[in-house]
């Protein structure tokens, strides 16, 4: 028997040893240089950008074959569809998928969109039904309409794959939908394989509980099981059930030997050397993620986002309660840059989302430095900042359940960050309230710490019209000196430089309300 034919028979019989394909490699698979593009972890927008970058590098370097190495639990539908489109447009025709060791959900559809699929020993793929998952509440239920809307593009991908690869469409649909049990059946005289459903078994008079046929006893001339046809029922041959493929209440999940038996995979490949032999290639190279991509993924994880939001709020609070220090303002700006910059780097945040965040920050600064007091600028700035951050976290269409989940997660992240920020500030102020930093940051109304001796009597409050000197920049809050005593003050006229003369206008909740004495002098010559 010819070596190529013998390898095909072994694949049909479910033998798990890797075929020796260095001799007689098909012409459409033959390659000289093979590029390996790994996809690992959850598939998201960052994965799309990474795959696009690496495929462009592969094309620029002239590789004539690409292997998409999959080790993923699945991921976002839109990201999966984008990757499939990029494989079709940017990768060479000789592109195969390597399930090494798993490719669930979105990974399964990416694999089937390639020209061929190979699996590692023990490899597994399948279970590709769409679900909506919240980072906080887990899997969410979908209505029939929502599920149908999500299934539609997946079934379209599988239908195109079935036509191109010659697979039974019912077999591929079983990755996404339940309700139709399938069996593998074989013709007794030659072991020819077919995919059969309940109606097919009834026509043959077969029982789904009959004793499975020993597939190894036959020699099938066809590696890929065909769909049962009308001619199968009229040729007088005897058929036997080989094994059940999927039950009516389960999604299809298959392992290495099953993938070979059902014709969904063509070989077992365990390492790069076997991969080169599969192509008959002399050279292979790996195109992995850049160092920046794991960093961006880390910054976009929900625990880190919550911490960044909390840290931003804490640093902003300390900066404005501690005028003139500056470092906390820089730290808060760094947190905001990380919050907005990470999604902007991978294309989630559009330019107008970043612009919205920037405009919100400018309005808040205007409210603080130019026109102090809670007003329109503060409200509008806060709203723009919140909306901008939510959109940079989840720039998606709220018409679908996963998109609504992403937006809900974004709001939950901001809310959780706010709560954590308040708790962090309370803890820091309680724990370090006697440190020099927090004594200044909290604008204590008395001087000295607990070890400076007994507190002196509280100084008398300056009267309206009294003048003093600003001890810190007033932005608008700060500290000022009246008759040799420091007091908490708040300006009504915007930013006042340290050392400028000020005048008392009144008191509110223990804080003196002041304005620039220079402004008053200019108004009353």
CA distance 73 to 79: 14
Q: Report the pLDDT value the prediction gives residue 177, as an integer from 0 to 100.
A: 94
Q: Report the pLDDT value the prediction gives residue 438, as an integer from 0 to 100.
A: 55
pTM over 0.75: no
- How is 116-157 classified by DSSP, letter by letter? EEEE-TT-EEE-----EEETTTEEE---HHHHHHHHHHHHHH
28: its two tokens: 């459409």
Q: Report the pLDDT value the prediction gives residue 366, as an integer from 0 to 100.
A: 76
Contact (CB, 8 A) for 289 and 50:
yes
Listed residue (524, 482, 525, 484) closest to 507, CA to CA = 482
Parallel/antiparallel/unpaired status of strands 124-126 and 33-40: unpaired
- C-beta neighbour count of 362 within 10 angstroms: 13
463: its two tokens: 């009267």
Parallel/antiparallel/unpaired status of strands 485-491 and 511-516: parallel
Listed residue (417, 329, 318, 414) closest to 365, CA to CA = 329
Q: Report the pLDDT value the prediction gives residue 3, as an integer from 0 to 100.
A: 33
Q: Report the pLDDT value the prediction gives residue 394, as an integer from 0 to 100.
A: 64
CA distance 481 to 470: 6
- How is 449-498 classified by DSSP, letter by letter? -TTS-SPPPPPPPPPTT-EEEESS-BSSEEEEEETTEEEEEEESSS-B-T
Strand partners, 514: 491, 504
- 420, with CB counted inside 10 A (0-12, 13-18, 19+), is middle
Q: Report the pLDDT value the prediction gives residue 448, as an integer from 0 to 100.
A: 40
Sequence-distant (6+) residues with CB within 8 A of 29 are 65, 94, 96, 116, 278, 279, 280
**321-335 as b/e: b if 16+ CB within 10 A:** bbbebeebbebbeeb
Listed residue (492, 490, 495, 494) closest to 512, CA to CA = 490
Say how far residue 122 (Cα) sits from the centre of its chain.
27
CA distance 141 to 157: 24
- How is 175-240 classified by DSSP, letter by letter? TT--S--EEEEEETTT--EEEE-HHHHHHHT--TTSPPP-GGGS--S-SSPEEP-HHHHHS---EE
CA distance 331 to 99: 44
CA distance 6 to 92: 29
Sequence-distant (6+) residues with CB within 8 A of 520 are 503
What's the pLDDT tens digit per position in 6-52? Answer: 332 323 233 333 333 444 799 999 999 999 999 999 998 889 989 99
Q: Which residues of the chain have pLDDT under 50?
A: 1-23, 216-222, 324, 441-455
Helix (H, G, I), strand (E, B) or coil at 361: helix
Domains contained in the chain, CATH given: 3-176+253-286 (3.90.226.10), 178-250 (no CATH), 293-440 (no CATH), 456-523 (2.40.50.140)
CA distance 61 to 67: 15
CA distance 10 to 26: 17
Contact (CB, 8 A) for 481 and 471:
yes
One-letter-per-residue 3-state SS of 377-437: HHHHHHHHHHHHHHHHHCCCCCCCHHHHHHHHHHHHHHHHHHHHHHHHHHHHHHHCCCCHH
Contact (CB, 8 A) for 240 and 269:
no
Q: Give the angle subtended at the CA of 367 by the CAs of 390 and 505, to the nearest 5°.
A: 145
Cα–Cα separations (whole angstroms), residue 148 to 63, 124, 151, 435:
39, 26, 5, 61
User: What H or E segment, with its residue span, contains residue 292?
Assistant: helix 292-299
- 11, with CB counted inside 10 A (0-12, 13-18, 19+), is buried
User: What H or E segment, with its residue span, contains residue 369?
Assistant: helix 351-369
CA distance 337 to 342: 8
Contact (CB, 8 A) for 420 and 314:
no
**245-255 as b/e: b if 16+ CB within 10 A:** bbeeeebbbbb
Contact (CB, 8 A) for 398 and 363:
no
């Amino acid at each position: 028997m010819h070596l190529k034919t013998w390898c095909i028979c072994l694949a049909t019989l479910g033998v798990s040893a890797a075929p020796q394909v260095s001799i007689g490699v098909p012409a459409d698979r033959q390659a000289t240089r093979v590029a390996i593009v790994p996809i690992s972890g959850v598939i998201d927008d960052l994965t799309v950008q990474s795959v696009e970058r690496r495929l462009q590098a592969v094309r620029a370097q002239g590789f004539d074959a690409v292997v998409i190495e999959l080790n993923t639990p699945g991921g976002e539908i839109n990201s999966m569809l984008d990757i499939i489109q990029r494989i079709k447009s940017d990768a060479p025709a000789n592109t195969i998928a390597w399930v090494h060791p798993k490719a669930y959900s979105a990974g399964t559809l990416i694999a089937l969109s390639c020209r061929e699929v190979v699996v590692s020993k023990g490899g597994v793929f399948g279970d590709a039904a769409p679900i909506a998952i919240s980072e906080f509440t887990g899997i969410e239920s979908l209505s029939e309409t929502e599920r149908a809307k999500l299934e539609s593009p997946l079934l379209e991908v599988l239908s195109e794959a079935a036509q191109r690869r010659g697979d039974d469409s019912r077999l591929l649909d079983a990755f996404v939908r339940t309700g139709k049990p399938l069996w593998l059946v074989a013709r007794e005289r030659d072991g020819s394989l077919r995919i059969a459903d309940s109606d097919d078994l009834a026509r043959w008079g077969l029982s789904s509980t009959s004793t499975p046929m020993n597939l190894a006893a036959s020699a099938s001339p066809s590696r890929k099981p065909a769909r049962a046809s009308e001619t199968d029922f009229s040729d007088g041959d005897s058929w036997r059930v080989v094994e059940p493929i999927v039950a009516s209440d389960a999604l299809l999940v298959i392992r290495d030997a099953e993938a070979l038996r059902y014709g969904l995979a063509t070989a077992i490949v365990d390492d790069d050397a076997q991969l080169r032999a599969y192509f008959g290639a002399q050279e292979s190279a790996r195109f992995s993620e850049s160092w920046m991509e794991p960093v961006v993924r880390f910054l976009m994880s929900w625990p880190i986002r919550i911490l960044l939001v909390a840290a931003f709020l804490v640093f902003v609070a300390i900066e404005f309660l501690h005028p003139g220090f500056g470092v906390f303002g820089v730290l808060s700006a760094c947190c905001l840059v990380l919050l907005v910059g990470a999604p902007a780097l991978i294309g989630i945040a559009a330019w107008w989302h970043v612009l919205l965040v920037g405009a919100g920050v400018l309005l808040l600064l205007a409210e603080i430095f130019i026109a102090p007091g809670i007003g329109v600028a503060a409200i509008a700035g806060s709203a723009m900042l919140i909306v901008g951050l939510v959109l940079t976290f989840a720039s998606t269409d709220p018409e679908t359940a996963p998109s609504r989940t992403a937006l809900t997660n974004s709001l939950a992240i901001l809310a959780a960050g706010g709560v954590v920020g308040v708790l962090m500030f309370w803890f820091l102020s309680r724990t370090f309230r006697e440190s020099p930093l927090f004594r200044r940051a909290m604008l204590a109304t008395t001087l000295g710490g607990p070890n400076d001796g007994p507190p002196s009597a509280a100084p008398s409050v300056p009267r309206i019209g009294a003048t003093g000197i600003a001890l810190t920049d007033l932005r608008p809050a700060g500290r000022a000196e009246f008759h040799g005593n420091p007091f908490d003050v708040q300006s009504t006229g915007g930013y006042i430089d340290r050392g400028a003369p000020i005048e008392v206008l009144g008191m509110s909740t223990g804080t003196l309300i002041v304005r620039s004495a220079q402004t008053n002098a200019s108004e009353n010559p």
